[in-house]
Structure 1
Amino acid sequence: MENDKKIAVLIDADNVSEKYIKYIFDEISNHGIPTYKRIYGDWTKPQLASWKTVLLNYSITPIQQYSYTTGKNATDAALIIDAMDILYSKNVDGFCIVSSDSDFTKLASRLREAGMYVIGMGEKKTPQPFIAACEKFKYLEVLAAIPADTFSTNGTKKFEKQEPPQDGMANIEELTEAIRTIVTDCSDEDGWAFLGEVGKRLNKRYPDFDTRNYGHAKLTPLISSLKKFEIQSRRTSNPNITHKYIKIK
């Protein structure tokens, strides 16, 4: 199962704020179990002092890396070397690289070539090449979004309206067209497509696809909001489980 994966979590302290740490590990728990938890930086720098309590509370191992030369990022090199050592140890099923730095693009690609499951996490400023190199990519601002209300009247979680999609995130028009194409490709003779398969193909097409990017907790309300598709619930042999199907209007 996906949530049984052993994941090495490697954090670039130079590019990530400690305010995101709870959301990072909450999200990782949806994908697997964090086995390695390491964070890289020059801990002699006063700007990293705010990480101290966070590291203790989450049992994250700080890796000291001095900045040997001005203009060269020794922290990135240390993270990359550790990632390759962990890869060759064969003790994990995947990696979570937390950074907004494009310097990890080649690392993500290499890990995936080795059959690793690679999740990236970074701010919306993260360059497109790093996003594309990951199997899945999560925006930290979206993970940390505070619900506008705890719950809506129908019991579904509500989120504050997100900023308009930026580079690396499909806008609503592009997303709608992608869903239309996927439904056409995988629908039955009557035009109905299994919603789970549509979601799976969206994740493959857009590594950064997440319904929370568009202000919705789940895929069904997101697709309903587009007003371009019909949604049908079908019962299964288990009375507690229903399957969702969608069709182009």
Structure 2
Amino acid sequence: MKDEKLAVLIDADNITHANVKEMLDEIAKYGNPTIKRIYADWTKPTVNGWKNVLLENAITPIQQYSYTSGKNSSDSALIIDAMDLLYSKKVGGFCIVSSDSDFTKLATRLREAGMFVIGLGEKKTPKPFITACDKFIYLEILKKNKNVKPTSNNKGKKVAKSEASSVNQIDSDIITLIKESVDEISDENGWAFLGALGNYILKKKTDFDSRNYGFPKLFPLIKEIGEFEIEEKETGENKIRHIYIRNK
């Protein structure tokens, strides 16, 4: 997937320009962002912050005037461009950067056409848009937070010691999700390969990300929960390490 060409379409009316570099770095993990466009009425002062970062990040601004009060014409322009790009077959995936549920149908349509769809938005993003994407990433977790260490709150729930308000508690729902996923993909001895487990969880919960809970990867999150057996195996001449998980 990392060599796949991606179209990055940004709703400037709905997303802040802060951390744009971190956002593009994150997108690059999933493919090559060959097309980067941002939509707004650039005559409005509310999007002035974006103007300073467009050139240095090679993002093409698309002007869309607001012809009617209360209507977001930028949404329509983004959707039209997305469909044009879909039929042009210039890209193999899309990244829609917005917290607006108006793009739910677009994400669904692109996936129906076989496109890989990544959504990026803030924690306020409505659930329908999140679940319509193959993968959804909260912009809050892209902020640089150093020395993030797990701890416990006064209710005994594990949290991450960080100033980021985006970090969630590792509650019973997440633990249940992981346990059920292990059961569903495990072999006859109950062992599930960690790589396959992460992909399977993502299919069930598209906004699942270990960083939401203060951990850089799934493995340290699972170890912190402490309710799983862990087995590490080295295979091949290069001694490649494979990690397997089993419910206790």
TM-score by length of 2: 0.91
2:9/2:36 contact within 8 Å kept: yes
Partner of 1:192: 191
Residue 123 of structure 2 aligns to a residue whose secondary structure is coil
Cα displacement string for residues 208-229 of structure 1 (whole angstroms, at most 9, x for unaligned residues):
1111001000111000111110
2:140/2:164 contact within 8 Å kept: no
Partner of 2:18: 19
Distance, in Å, in 2 between the alignment partners of 1:112 and 1:55 is: 28
Within-5 A mapping of 1:137-216? 137-148=136-147, 160=162, 163=165, 172-216=171-215
Which stretch of structure 1 is more off in the superposition, 178-187 or 110-119? 178-187
Distance, in Å, in 1 between the alignment partners of 2:210 and 2:58 is: 30
Distance, in Å, in 2 between the alignment partners of 1:182 and 1:51 is: 41
Partner of 1:81: 80
What displacement does 1:22 show? 0.8
Partner of 1:155: none
1:10/1:96 contact within 8 Å kept: yes
Partner of 2:67: 68
Residue 107 of structure 1 aligns to a residue whose secondary structure is helix
Q: What code does the residue aligned with 1:47 have? A: T
1:146/1:159 contact within 8 Å kept: no
Distance, in Å, in 2 between the alignment partners of 1:56 and 1:68 is: 27
How many percent of aligned residue pairs carry the same amino acid?
A: 56
Cα displacement string for residues 117-173 of structure 1 (whole angstroms, at most 9, x for unaligned residues):
0000000000000000000000000112422369xxxxxxx972654777xxx9531
Change (3 A) 1:242 1:165: same
Distance, in Å, in 1 between the alignment partners of 2:163 and 2:211 is: 10
Partner of 1:228: 227
Change (3 A) 1:164 1:95: closer
Structure 2: gaps of 5 or more residues? 150-159
Q: CA RMSD in A?
A: 1.9
Within-5 A mapping of 1:106-121? 106-121=105-120
1:162/1:215 contact within 8 Å kept: no
Q: What code does the residue aligned with 1:17 have? A: T
Change (3 A) 1:22 1:105: same
2:231/2:244 contact within 8 Å kept: yes
1:142/1:212 contact within 8 Å kept: yes
Residue 209 of structure 1 aligns to a residue whose secondary structure is coil
2:145/2:163 contact within 8 Å kept: no
Q: What code does the residue aligned with 1:173 have? A: S
Residue 183 of structure 1 aligns to a residue whose secondary structure is helix
1:147/1:159 contact within 8 Å kept: no
Distance, in Å, in 1 between the alignment partners of 2:148 and 2:247 is: 31
Q: Is 1:30 paired with 2:32? A: no
1:162/1:213 contact within 8 Å kept: no
What displacement does 1:49 show? 1.6
Q: What code does the residue aligned with 2:162 have? A: E
Cα displacement string for residues 36-74 of structure 1 (whole angstroms, at most 9, x for unaligned residues):
100000000112122122001001100000000001110
Distance, in Å, in 2 between the alignment partners of 1:159 and 1:99 is: 28
Within-5 A mapping of 1:39-50? 39-50=38-49
Residue 31 of structure 1 aligns to a residue whose secondary structure is coil
Change (3 A) 1:46 1:144: same
Structure 1: gaps of 5 or more residues? 151-157
Partner of 1:97: 96
Partner of 1:127: 126
Q: What code does the residue aligned with 2:200 have? A: R
Task: Count residues with an aligned counterpart.
Answer: 238
1:97/1:121 contact within 8 Å kept: yes
Q: Is 1:217 paired with 2:208? A: no
